[in-house]
């Protein structure tokens, strides 16, 4: 082969490798042809399911006892809000994520409507999915009064409050069906039996005082759930799995574009032959050209992902600044989004028709405004200094909120609205409680071990815990948790 041909061949090889940046991570199992849900209609009101299914249940197999069933809503007003149902368990850090469908069963006379839930289950205590750690799940909801309540609900108008205002039927739901191994048709019987309603998470003032924190996604990239961390899709997954607030990591590219990414560009989380080193080494165009996340996603710009998540979920976002220089650009993005995203459910009194006006989009129904939901995280003293400097220089968004990780005294002096130290410092109740009594949020990062979660829930009375395992934390809160008496009301104040 001549030298020219060798160069040509190498060039082809490079192009081929760049073109192969598709999914590397495992994909969750799926029902062939979309299963029964593909033959069904979604519930007319996405909030109906929460009224009849939310609760603590026991299962006959696979998930153990005291599991949580969580019904979530996600999606944007323009293209439709959808609902999902999740089983959240402590055993094996398990979860099941299912989509609902109202199915007309014509095999009976007369035809009956059935409410089917289909999806996949997963044990997260093994990061490598296999037929013993993941599979399909199909459940049917009973009794018929519950099915009729959900499937015969009036359609939810897109300008209505985020609720199904009808009282639920006076019977408890029961679920039965089966689970399977891997892609196999479900064949292992499963029944899910009501035990009790979920605990209140409200403080003495009736406002929510305990929150499940999402550690940069509903699932870590290395846990192989099919979705990479720090992505818009992982925020949807987080909502579906019972997350209440979302921690995401912000960097600044070489051409000053804020992006979401955790640490270094390494093969555990990214793919691409030339995708190595640090985000800061590349322009955003170079990142797009050279890098894909493990499941095929691009590294998202902060602007794009915030817009997506703020419109499709009600999650507040704690934006952890991985470099001090990202603070001002992120705050400016939040400021712009605060102007562009407006409440639509319902529209503000006296608002013009049509609503939203041209150039504006709707916030997720029932969610707080952007200035409340975008909290800038300040993990180190140098970030606090940079933030204060920018604040004094008028470079931050009006009403910008911040969160301190290290020195609690910074929370009141900056001021910020939250303190979230690492749990390895212990509960520090003598410092935490006075802050909580003044309406500040006090949480801990990042607790994944069940024994440690239990210890903090029972001894520290935190407003929030950041975790990789949302199902586990939700289940443990139901088992041993008590909401702190003080809600973090400062997070809702200008």
Partner 1 sequence: MTVRGEEPTTPACLRRVAARPVSLGLVGLSLALAPLMGQAAEPAGTGYLDRGLSIYPAGPGNGNERWSVGGLWQIAPMFTLSYERGLGTGFSVGAALETVVLYNQLGGGAQWAAQVGPFSLGVMAHLNAFYGVLGKAFIATTQFDATGWGLLFDPGVKGGLQITNDSWLTLQIEAYLSLYQSQKLGTLQISPNAPSYAGLGFTLVVEYAPKREGVIYYGASLYHTATNYPMWMNVEATPESEPFSSQKIWYLGVLAGYEF
Minimum CB distance to partner 1, residue 462 (Å): 12
Sequence-distant (≥ 6) Cβ neighbours of residue 438 within 8 angstroms = 412, 490
Nearest residue (CB) to partner 1, 362 versus 411: 411
Q: Applying CB under 8 A, does 449 fall inside the site for partner 1?
A: yes
Give the interface segment with partner 1, choosing from 16-24, 193-201, 416-424, 433-441 (CB under 8 A). Answer: 416-424
In this chain, which stretch among 144-152, 192-200, 362-370, 449-457 interacts with partner 1, using CB under 8 A? 449-457
Give dist(CA 415, CA 438) in Å, integer.
Answer: 12
| Contact indicator for 205, 489 with CB cutoff of 8 Å | yes
Q: Name the minimum Å distance from CB 444 to partner 1.
A: 10
Kindly state the smallest distance separating residue 264's Cβ from partner 1, in Å: 7
State which residue, 141 or 470, has the beta carbon closest to partner 1. 470
Q: Which two tokens stand for residue 24?
A: 């590397």
Measured from the CB atom, the residue of 46 and 450 that comes closer to partner 1 is 450
259-278: contacts with partner 1 (CB under 8 A): 263-264, 278
Binding to partner 1, residues 166-205 (CB under 8 A): none
Q: Does 448 bind partner 1 (CB under 8 A)?
A: yes
CB nearer to partner 1: pick between 433 and 446 = 446
What mask, x for binding partner 1 by CB under 8 A, covers residues 421 to 440? xxxxxxxxx-----------
Residue 476 binding partner 1, by CB under 8 A: no
Which among 255, 408, 234, 236 is positioned nearest to 325, based on CA atoms? Answer: 255
115 and 140 Cβ atoms separated by less than 8 Å:
yes
Task: State the binding string over 325-344 for partner 1 (x if CB under 8 A, else -).
Answer: x-------------------
Decide: is 447 part of the binding site for partner 1 (CB under 8 A).
yes
**Contact criterion met (CB below 8 Å) for 213 and 75:** no
How many other CB atoms sit within 10 Å of the CB of residue 18?
A: 15
CB of 226 to partner 1, least distance (A): 17
Binding-site member from 193, 446, 482, 492 for partner 1 (CB under 8 A): 446
Using rule CB under 8 A, residue 406 touches partner 1? yes
Question: Do 405 and 423 contact (CB within 8 A), yes or no?
Answer: no
CB of 461 to partner 1, least distance (A): 12
In the numeric block, the tokens 């996949």 are attached to: 120
Which of the residues 292 through 321 are near partner 1 (CB under 8 A)?
A: none
Let me know: does 404 contact 420? Beta carbons within 8 Å: yes
Assess 93 for contact with partner 1 (CB under 8 A). yes
**Which of 271, 324, 335, 345: binder of partner 1 (CB under 8 A)?**
324
Nearest approach, Cβ of residue 402 and partner 1 (Å):
16
| Options 124-132, 147-155, 181-189, 297-305: segment touching partner 1 (CB under 8 A) | 124-132
Work out whether 152 is an interface residue with partner 1 (CB under 8 A): no
252 binds partner 1 (CB under 8 A): yes
Residue 49 CB, shortest distance to partner 1, in Å, is 30
Contact 174, 143 (CB under 8 A): yes
> Would you say how long the chain is, in residues?
494
Identify which of 126, 125, 61 has the alpha carbon closest to the alpha carbon of residue 87.
61
Is 89 one of the binding residues for partner 1 (CB under 8 A)? no
- Position among 265, 460, 465, 473 found at the interface with partner 1 (CB under 8 A): 460
Query: CB of 216 within 8 A of CB of 287?
Result: no
Number of chain residues interacting with partner 1 (CB under 8 A): 47
Query: How many C-alpha atoms does 198 have within 13 Å on its Cβ side?
Result: 21
215 binds partner 1 (CB under 8 A): yes
* Region binding partner 1 by CB under 8 A among candidate stretches 70-78, 138-146, 163-171, 444-452: 444-452
Site membership for partner 1, residue 380 (CB under 8 A): yes
Nearer to partner 1, 47 or 318 (CB): 318
- Is-contact 280 326, C-beta < 8 A? no
Q: Are 122 and 225 in contact (CB under 8 A)?
A: yes
CB 101 within 8 A of CB 91: no
Task: Rule CB under 8 A: say whether 480 interacts with partner 1.
Answer: no
- DSSP state letters, 446-481: ----HHHHHHHHHHT--SEEEES-HHHHHHHHHHH-
Q: Which is nearer to partner 1, 218 or 421 (CB)?
A: 421
Q: Rounded distance, CA 196 to CA 308, Å?
A: 35
When binding is defined by CB under 8 A, the residue of 30, 54, 91, 126 that contacts partner 1 is 126
The Cα–Cα gap between 72 and 238 comes to: 10
Q: Which part of the chain contacts partner 1 (CB under 8 A), choosing from 120-128, 144-152, 311-319, 394-402?
A: 120-128
Please provide residue 83's backbone torsions phi and psi, each rounded to the nearest 5 degrees: -125, 155
Q: Which residues bind partner 1 (CB under 8 A)?
A: 93, 124-127, 215, 220, 222-223, 251-252, 263-264, 278, 280, 322-325, 379-382, 405-407, 421-429, 445-449, 451-452, 455-456, 459-460, 468
């Amino acid at each position: 082969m001549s030298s020219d041909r060798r160069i040509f061949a190498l060039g082809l090889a490079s192009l081929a490798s760049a073109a192969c940046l598709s999914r590397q991570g495992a994909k969750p199992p799926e029902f062939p042809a979309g299963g029964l849900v593909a033959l069904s209609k979604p519930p007319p009101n996405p909030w109906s399911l929460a009224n009849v299914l939310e609760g603590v249940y026991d299962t006959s197999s696979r998930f153990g006892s005291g599991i949580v069933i969580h019904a979530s809503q996600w999606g944007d007003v323009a293209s439709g809000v959808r609902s999902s149902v999740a089983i959240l368990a402590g055993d094996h850090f398990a979860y099941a994520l299912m989509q609902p469908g109202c199915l007309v069963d014509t095999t009976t006379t007369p035809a009956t409507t059935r409410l089917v839930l289909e999806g996949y289950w997963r044990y997260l205590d093994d990061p490598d999915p296999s037929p013993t750690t993941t599979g399909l799940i199909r459940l049917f909801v009973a009794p018929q009064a519950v099915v009729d309540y959900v499937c015969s609900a009036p359609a939810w108008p897109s300008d209505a409050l985020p609720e199904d205002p009808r009282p639920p039927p006076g019977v408890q739901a029961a679920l039965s069906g089966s689970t399977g191994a891997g892609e196999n048709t479900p064949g292992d019987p499963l029944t899910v039996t009501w035990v009790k309603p979920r605990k209140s998470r409200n403080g003495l003032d009736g406002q929510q005082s305990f929150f499940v924190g999402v550690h940069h996604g509903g699932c870590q990239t290395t846990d192989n759930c099919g979705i990479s961390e720090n992505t818009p899709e992982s925020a949807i997954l987080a909502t579906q799995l019972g997350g209440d607030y979302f921690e995401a990591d912000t960097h600044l590219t070489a051409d000053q574009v804020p992006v979401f990414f955790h640490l270094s560009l390494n093969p555990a989380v990214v793919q691409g032959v030339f995708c190595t080193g640090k985000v800061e080494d590349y322009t955003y165009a170079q990142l797009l050209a050279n890098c894909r996340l493990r499941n095929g996603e691009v590294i998202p710009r902060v602007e794009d992902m915030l817009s997506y998540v703020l419109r499709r979920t009600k999650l507040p976002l704690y934006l952890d600044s991985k470099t001090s220089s990202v603070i001002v650009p992120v705050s400016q993005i939040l400021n712009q989004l605060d102007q562009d995203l407006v409440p639509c459910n319902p529209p503000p009194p006296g608002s013009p028709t049509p609503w939203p006006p041209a150039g504006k989009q709707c916030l997720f129904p029932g969610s707080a405004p952007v200035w409340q939901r975008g909290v800038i995280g300040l993990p180190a003293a140098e970030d606090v200094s940079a933030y204060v400097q920018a604040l004094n220089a008028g470079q931050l968004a009006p009403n910008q909120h911040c969160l301190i990780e290290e020195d609690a005294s910074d929370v009141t002096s900056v001021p910020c609205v939250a303190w979230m130290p690492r749990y390895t410092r212990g509960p520090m109740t003598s410092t935490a409680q006075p802050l909580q009594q003044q309406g500040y949020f006090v949480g801990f990062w990042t607790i994944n071990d069940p024994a440690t979660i239990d210890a903090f829930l029972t001894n520290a009375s935190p407003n929030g815990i950041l975790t990789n395992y949302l199902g586990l934390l939700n289940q443990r809160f139901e088992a041993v948790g008590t909401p702190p008496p003080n809600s973090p009301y400062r997070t809702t104040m200008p």
